A = this chain, B = another copy of it.
Amino acid sequence: MRLSDLGEFGLINLIRAASAKYEDPGRIPWRQILLGIGDDAAAWQNDNRIQLATTDTLVQSVHFDLGAITWEELGWKALAVNLSDIAAMGGIPRYALLSLALPAQLKVQDVSEFINSFLLLAAEFGVALVGGNVATAHNIVITVTIIGCSKGKNMLERSAACPGEQIAVTGYVGLAAAGLEMLKGKTISDPNARNILRQAHFKPVPRVKEGQILIEQGVRTAIDISDGLVADLDHVCESSKVSAKINIEQVPVHPVVTAHFPNSRELALSGGEDYELLFTADKATVARARQALGCPVTVIGDITKDELPTRVLVVDSRGTIIPYKKGGWDHFKNAVSHTEFT
């Protein structure tokens, strides 16, 4: 069997199962682990504090195309996607490690722009670059690790959603995926719209402060929307052993997407990389969180009891079931279809 048959999530499950064989729950470090493989970040108890760590990799020609993204945007994005994982825990990012595998013929000027943009965003979020690794490679691979801590005694998890809770999202969804369609060639004549779409795709703003506010307001369940609204809600449902019902008409699609993309609903449901936070909580908590947050918050549906095989049901206001593609991205399975086109 090949990785292309197993798929990305199959590989993660294989690693998790193998890892479980070596766990020794009575011993440090296993005794301290609060969240291992499978959440947005790992978490463990460290004296009085919960420590968080997350890592994310960007691979040239898979995650980005140097013909489209600038080095400045790449430096931002490489860090932003990691900050978003800490945001999804409601945590505080603190220290970053940066691993660069780079071709030797790259221009120093380009790499400098990458570094400066990375550091600018890091400083904005109070993150210090403390180390990393540089190595030569044929193809660019950037791996960022962020280590942080919890805001208080709690953190946001994927596995705490309960039936009856509302499902809410910050900001808008579908914008980053629409940006990708534009970058792939779709003509958008309005320069303002072009700018919004490009920013959304290349310079997402991680919801770090918002994640911390959610924790303060008593929210316990969240995920960042990296794979896509439905795909990430599906991750929450799977981890929490619940199902979900969302109303397509309530999903906050950005006006730029509605105006320029006939497939705006599909982009909103299945497009990834928005890096907004999806969270669940009881009605009063969601209302409180909405008050406290300085960004748009939209209730899009409810958590229901486990209704397998349906994890996520999408309906319209008349109750009609809307079919959807779950979306998301399976690295190894997609990669196969890439190979077929080569």
The answer to whether A94 touches B131 (Cβ under 8 A) is no
Instruction: Report the stretch among A8-16, A234-242, A263-271, A305-313 that lies at the interface.
Output: A8-16
A131's closest neighbor in chain B, by CB? B42
| Distance of A267 from chain B, by nearest CB (Å) | 23
Q: Is A104 an interface residue (CB 8 A)?
A: yes
The answer to whether A22 touches B332 (Cβ under 8 A) is no
Q: Is A195 an interface residue (CB 8 A)?
A: no
The answer to whether A331 touches B130 (Cβ under 8 A) is no
A335, B334: Cα distance in complex, Å: 31
Tell me whether A335 and B136 are in contact in the complex, defined as CB-CB below 8 angstroms, given that A55-B97, A112-B18, A130-B42 are known contacts.
yes
Q: Taking the full assembly, how many copies of this chain does it contain?
A: 2
Q: Is A256 an interface residue (CB 8 A)?
A: no
The answer to whether A334 touches B22 (Cβ under 8 A) is no
Q: Is A5 an interface residue (CB 8 A)?
A: yes
The answer to whether B14 touches A108 (Cβ under 8 A) is yes
The answer to whether B145 touches A55 (Cβ under 8 A) is yes
Chain B residues positioned under 8 Å from A127 (CB to CB): 29
A143, B27: Cα distance in complex, Å: 26
Chain B residues positioned under 8 Å from A11 (CB to CB): 100, 108, 111, 134
Chain B residues positioned under 8 Å from A42 (CB to CB): 95, 97, 130-131
Q: Is A1 an interface residue (CB 8 A)?
A: yes
The answer to whether A18 touches B104 (Cβ under 8 A) is no
A127, B36: Cα distance in complex, Å: 13
A94, B102: Cα distance in complex, Å: 29
The answer to whether B128 touches A33 (Cβ under 8 A) is yes
Q: Is A320 an interface residue (CB 8 A)?
A: no
Instruction: Report the stretch among A57-65, A165-173, A286-294 that lies at the interface.
Output: A57-65
The answer to whether B132 touches A29 (Cβ under 8 A) is no
Which of B44, B57, B132, B336 sits near A15, CB closer than 8 Å? B132
A336, B103: Cα distance in complex, Å: 9
Which of B4, B28, B136, B141 sits near A137, CB closer than 8 Å? B141
Name which of A3, A102, A334 has the most chain B CB atoms within 10 A of its CB.
Answer: A3
Chain B residues positioned under 8 Å from A28 (CB to CB): 94, 126
| Distance of A133 from chain B, by nearest CB (Å) | 5
Residues of A within 8 A of B (CB): 1-6, 8, 11-12, 14-15, 18-19, 21-24, 27-30, 33, 35-37, 39, 41-42, 44, 46-49, 51, 53-57, 59, 61-63, 94-95, 97-109, 111-112, 115-116, 119-120, 122-123, 126-139, 141, 143, 145, 147, 331-336, 338-339
